[in-house]
Amino acid sequence: MNIKRQVPSTSFFDISKGPLWQNTTASRNINESIQENFYIYSEKQKIYKIKTLYLQGHFIFKKKKNGQNQIADILNATICEIELPFYGAGIRIIKAGQIIEIYGMTITWLQQLRFYCIQQDFANKYSIIRLLGKGTFGKVFKIKSRITQQDFAVKVFEKKAISNYQDYLLITKELQIIRSLNHPGITKFFETYENDEHIFLIYEMVEQGELYTFIKEKHLSEEEALLILKQLLQSLLYIHSKGILHRDLKPSNLLLRDRNTLSIAIADFGLAEFYRVDGKYIFTRCGTPGYVAPEVLQDKIYDYKIDIYSAGVILFMMLSGGKSPFNSTDPEEKLYQNYKSLIDYSLVSNISEATYNLLQSMLEPDNIKRISARAALNHQVFRNKRTSKCSIMIKKTPRSIDKITNPRVIINTNNNLDKYLQLSPKLQNLSSKPQNNMKQEAIRRGYQKMQTFSHRSPQLSPLQSQTKFEPFP
Ligand SMILES: Nc1ncnc2c1ncn2[C@@H]1O[C@H](COP(=O)(O)OP(=O)(O)OP(=O)(O)O)[C@@H](O)[C@H]1O
Ligand SMILES: [Mg+2]
C-alpha cells in the first residue's frame, strides 16, 4: 500500500514545525490515559503492525522496544475518519506536514480528538437553522446535527477577516481557554471545524437568548437580579480559579438557559486571557466601553477584579430595569463617567441596603478595595433572605461633567462597538472643545480604547511585534 507520508499543511491552526513524535524521558501516568491497540503503518518494515498507544489530553504516547518512549502533541492537528479494507475504521491525524494513521477501535479516541483537534467536514455533520448574532469576525448560528438531530450553536470566523497575527492569536486563545473550562455556568464547547473560507467553533445551544434583551423586556426584582448575580459570581470564581480573566462581561455575553429558573451561562471568551502578574497581555486594552473597569481605560495593570467591576455593571443594569450606571446621553460624557467610575446610584434607589452595599463594593473604582468573587459570594445578601430597604441618600448626577465633585456619582454606556466606531470622528475633534485637562485625557485614552475594542487589533509591545509569524506575511 502506497501511502503519502508527507502532506502540505493547509490548516489555519497548523503553524508548528519539527518532528511530530519526540523522544521523552518524562514518565506519564498511563492509568489516566485512554489505552488502545491500533494497527499502525511501519515505515521501516512497510507493513501495518499492532501497537499500544495511550491518549492523555492532546498527547499521544507510545513505548518503543528499545525502552525509549515517544510523545506526540496533537493539539489543533487536523483529523479525519478513514477506512482501509481489512484494517477497518481509522483516524488520520495531520500536523506539521506529518501524518499519524491508526486503525482499530477508534470511537473513544475520536470523542477526545474531536475536542482537541480540527475537523473538516462541517457541512456533512450540521445543517444551519438560523442566525443568532453577529460578531467581529463572523456570525453565530443555530445549527442541527445531521447525525443526532441535536441543536448546537456555531461561532463562524471568516478566514479572510483574519489578516494579522493578533487576530490569529485571538481565535487560538479563545479555543485554548474554552477547552480548559467545564462549568454549568459557562457555555459548553464541543468541537472545531475549518474549511477554505471559515473556522467553526461548536458550542451547546443556549436557547433563551441574551440577558441584555431579557432585562430590557422584563424589569427584574431585586431577588431575581441577585439570583442571576450569584450564578455569575460562582462562574467567575471558577474562571478566576483557573487563572483566567473573561475581560468582556456584559449582558449580551450572558445567555439564559431557562427564563423560569433564571439560569444563565457565560458566553464569548473571545477576549479572555490567562492572568499575568506583570500585566503584559497580548491585548492589554480590551473590553466594551460602558462595562469595562476604569483601570483598563486608565492603562493601569489589572487583574481578576476587572470582571467583578463588569459584573457590578450587570447587577446595576438588572436592578435598574436595563439602565446603565453611566447615565449621560452624550457618548463622550459616558466614556468619561466610565473612566472615572462616576455612577448614578439614583437609578437604583429602591433596593435594600445590603444589595446597595454589594453593588458599591463591586463597582469600587479602586481595584485593591474592590470585592472579589469569593468575598461577594459570602456577602450578607446571599445569606439573609430579607434585608431592609436602602436608606442611603443618593446624590443626583450633575448635569455638566465640569460640575462633578462627588466621586460616588458615576458611570457607563451600553453602546455597542458599531456605535463607538461611528463616534470616532466626533471624538477626534474633541480638542477644539473647551475641556478641562483631566477630561480631555480621559477621552483621549478612552478613544484609543474604543478603536482597540472595535478593531481588536491593539499595538503589540515591541517584544511581541518582533514575533515571527509566517502564515500572515
Ligand atoms: N452558545 C450559544 N447559544 C445561543 N446563542 C449564542 C451562543 N453563543 C453566542 N450566541 C449568540 O451570538 C451572539 C454573539 O456571540 P459571541 O458573543 O460569542 O460573539 P461576539 O461577541 O459577537 O463576537 P466577538 O466578541 O468576537 O465580536 C451572542 O451575544 C448570543 O446572542
Ligand atoms: Mg459577544
Q: 140 CB under 6 A from ligand 1?
A: yes
Beta bridge pairs of residue 118:
78, 192
CB-count burial class (<10 Å; 0-12, 13-18, 19+) for 33: middle
* Nearest one of 451, 460, 432, 102 to 286, comparing CA atoms: 451
**Quick check: helix, strand or coil at residue 108?**
helix
In whole angstroms, give the CA distance from residue 336 to residue 338: 5
The residue whose CA has the least distance to atom 20 of ligand 1 is 135
CB-count burial class (<10 Å; 0-12, 13-18, 19+) for 83: exposed
Among 39-48, 189-198, 353-362, where is mean pLDDT lowest? 39-48
Asked if 125 and 110 touch (Cβ cutoff 8 Å), the reply is no
The arithmetic mean of pLDDT across residues 19-35, rounded, is 80
Asked if 325 and 316 touch (Cβ cutoff 8 Å), the reply is yes
- Is 216 annotated in some ligand binding site? no
Q: Please report, for the chain, the start and end positions of each structural domain, with discontinuous segments joined by +.
A: 21-119, 122-204, 211-403
Residues 6+ apart with CB under 8 A from 202: 126, 143, 152, 153, 154, 189, 190, 191, 192, 193
What single-letter amino acid sits at 13?
Answer: F
In the predicted structure, residue 424 carries a pLDDT above the cut 50: no
The residue whose CA has the least distance to atom 18 of ligand 1 is 268
DSSP label at residue 459 = P
In whole angstroms, give the CA distance from residue 117 to residue 114: 5
**Of 181-195, 382-396, 454-468, where does the model show the most confidence?**
181-195
Q: 416 CB under 6 A from ligand 1?
A: no
Q: 206 CB under 6 A from ligand 1?
A: yes
In the predicted structure, residue 214 carries a pLDDT above the cut 60: yes
Quickly state the pLDDT bin for 445 (edges 50, 70, 90): very low
Note the pLDDT of residue 137.
Answer: 67
In the predicted structure, residue 409 carries a pLDDT above the cut 70: no
Query: Over the stretch 241-283, which tens digit does the pLDDT of each residue have?
Result: 999 999 999 999 999 999 999 999 999 999 999 999 998 887 7
* Nearest one of 167, 192, 223 to 469, comparing CA atoms: 167
Q: 317 CB under 6 A from ligand 1?
A: no
* Nearest one of 340, 308, 350 to 412, comparing CA atoms: 340
**Quick check: helix, strand or coil at residue 244?**
strand
Q: Which ligand is nearest to the CA of 418?
A: 1
Q: 295 CB under 6 A from ligand 1?
A: no
CATH architecture of 122-204: 2-Layer Sandwich (3.30)
Average pLDDT of the chain is: 82
Task: Report the residue among 136, 141, 142, 155 best suited for mutation to probe ligand 1: largest number of ligand atoms under 8 A from its CB.
Answer: 155
Domain 211-403 in the same topology as domain 122-204: no
Nearest 5°: the CA angle 183, 189, 193 is: 170
The arithmetic mean of pLDDT across residues 41-66, rounded, is 90
The arithmetic mean of pLDDT across residues 362-388, rounded, is 89
In the predicted structure, residue 46 carries a pLDDT above the cut 60: yes
More confident call, 1 vs 421:
1
Note the pLDDT of residue 107.
Answer: 95
Note the pLDDT of residue 356.
Answer: 97
**Quick check: helix, strand or coil at residue 383?**
coil
Note the pLDDT of residue 425.
Answer: 36
Topology (CATH) of 21-119: PH-domain like (2.30.29)
Query: Going by CATH, does the domain composed of 211-403 fall within 1.10.510.10?
Result: yes
Distance 211 CA to ligand 1 centre (A): 12
Query: Over the stretch 117-150, which tens digit does the pLDDT of each residue have?
Result: 999 999 999 999 999 998 766 799 999 999 999 9
Q: 255 CB under 6 A from ligand 1?
A: yes
Among the atoms of ligand 1, which is closest to the Cα of residue 206?
3
What single-letter amino acid sits at 215?
Answer: I
Instruction: Locate 320 and state its grid cell.
Output: 435598574
In the predicted structure, residue 69 carries a pLDDT above the cut 60: yes
More confident call, 427 vs 84:
84
Distance 111 CA to ligand 1 centre (A): 25
Quickly state the pLDDT bin for 36 (edges 50, 70, 90): very high
Distance 360 CA to ligand 2 centre (A): 26
DSSP label at residue 345 = G
In whole angstroms, give the CA distance from residue 277 to residue 264: 30
Above pLDDT 70, what percent of the chain? 77
Note the pLDDT of residue 2.
Answer: 36
Quickly state the pLDDT bin for 45 (edges 50, 70, 90): confident
**Quick check: helix, strand or coil at residue 112?**
helix
Active centre residues (catalytic): 248
More confident call, 456 vs 216:
216
Q: 267 CB under 6 A from ligand 1?
A: yes
Quickly state the pLDDT bin for 465 (edges 50, 70, 90): very low
In the predicted structure, residue 434 carries a pLDDT above the cut 60: no
In the predicted structure, residue 399 carries a pLDDT above the cut 60: no
In whole angstroms, give the CA distance from residue 222 to residue 453: 32
The residue whose CA has the least distance to atom 1 of ligand 1 is 205
Asked if 284 and 275 touch (Cβ cutoff 8 Å), the reply is no
Q: 174 CB under 6 A from ligand 1?
A: no
In the predicted structure, residue 469 carries a pLDDT above the cut 70: no
Distance 307 CA to ligand 2 centre (A): 15
Query: Over the stretch 144-172, which tens digit does the pLDDT of each residue have?
Result: 999 999 999 999 999 988 878 888 888 99
| Dmax (CA) of the chain | 85
Residues 6+ apart with CB under 8 A from 438: none
Among the atoms of ligand 1, which is closest to the Cα of residue 187?
1
Asked if 53 and 38 touch (Cβ cutoff 8 Å), the reply is yes
The arithmetic mean of pLDDT across residues 83-106, rounded, is 94
In the predicted structure, residue 467 carries a pLDDT above the cut 80: no
Distance 267 CA to ligand 2 centre (A): 7
Beta bridge pairs of residue 52:
37
Q: 136 CB under 6 A from ligand 1?
A: yes
Among the atoms of ligand 1, which is closest to the Cα of residue 203?
1
Distance 42 CA to ligand 1 centre (A): 46
In the predicted structure, residue 9 carries a pLDDT above the cut 80: no
In whole angstroms, give the CA distance from residue 371 to residue 53: 48
In the predicted structure, residue 95 carries a pLDDT above the cut 50: yes
Query: Over the stretch 299-354, which tens digit does the pLDDT of each residue have?
Result: 999 999 999 999 999 999 999 999 999 999 998 999 999 999 999 999 998 899 99
The residue whose CA has the least distance to atom 24 of ligand 1 is 135
Task: Report the residue among 162, 268, 421 best suited for mutation to probe ligand 1: largest number of ligand atoms under 8 A from its CB.
Answer: 268
